[in-house]
Amino acid sequence: MAKKHKLDIFTISESWLTDSVSDLEVEFPGFSLFRLDRNYKIGGGVCAYVNNSFKCVKLADLSYVSDTGLHQLWLKVQVKNFKSFIICTAYRTDDVPVNCFETDLSFTLTSAMTFNVPIFIFSTCTNPIIHLFYPPQNLHRHCFRLLLGQVHVPGEIANNEYAKFWGG
């Protein structure tokens, strides 16, 4: 699917990966895998595949599963000699309170802003169809309140099990 749609970056929620699954078992040729496993409970987890030609590092200090259950995987990406950007793929189940955007995400988003580069945030609800922060108005309100001009929240992305990154 990644080759067919010429994806450079795609993310997966509900990866169900744990430390018992090796990277080799879920690799895609031509892509680097970045993952955030949820080892203490069945299900959950997020991962991102990034084109090998891109420079990409996981921002380990920002990537974690919060006590409320919000998953956040933060990556800093650079394509050729262009300015870097940050992507975050986040996941919340229906039982995770919506205010996790203002509690858990607020802290990491503020920290990510110190890099002074564009930030793109992708998220899903409880199924593999990509929705951007369910309900999306909560994140938009939150970003507006913080006057985060460097944060980009793309509109809804349709299609199963992947999201294509596009520049902004």
Q: What is the pLDDT of residues 107-165, one digit of tens each?
A: 898 899 889 888 888 876 433 323 333 334 444 444 444 434 445 555 443 333 333 33
pLDDT at 93: 76
pLDDT at 3: 65
Closest to 124 in 3D by CA, of 93, 87, 167: 93
pTM: 0.74
Name residue, tokens 């169809």: 129
Could you give the percent of the chain with pLDDT greater than 90?
29
Helix, strand or coil, per DSSP, at residue 106: helix
The DSSP secondary-structure symbol of 104 reads I
CA distance 50 to 58: 11
Residue 4 pLDDT more than 60? yes
Cα angle for residues 158, 160, 163 (degrees, 5° grid) = 60
Dump strand ranges (E) for the chain: 9-13, 31-36, 46-51, 55-58, 64-65, 71-78, 85-91, 119-124, 151-152
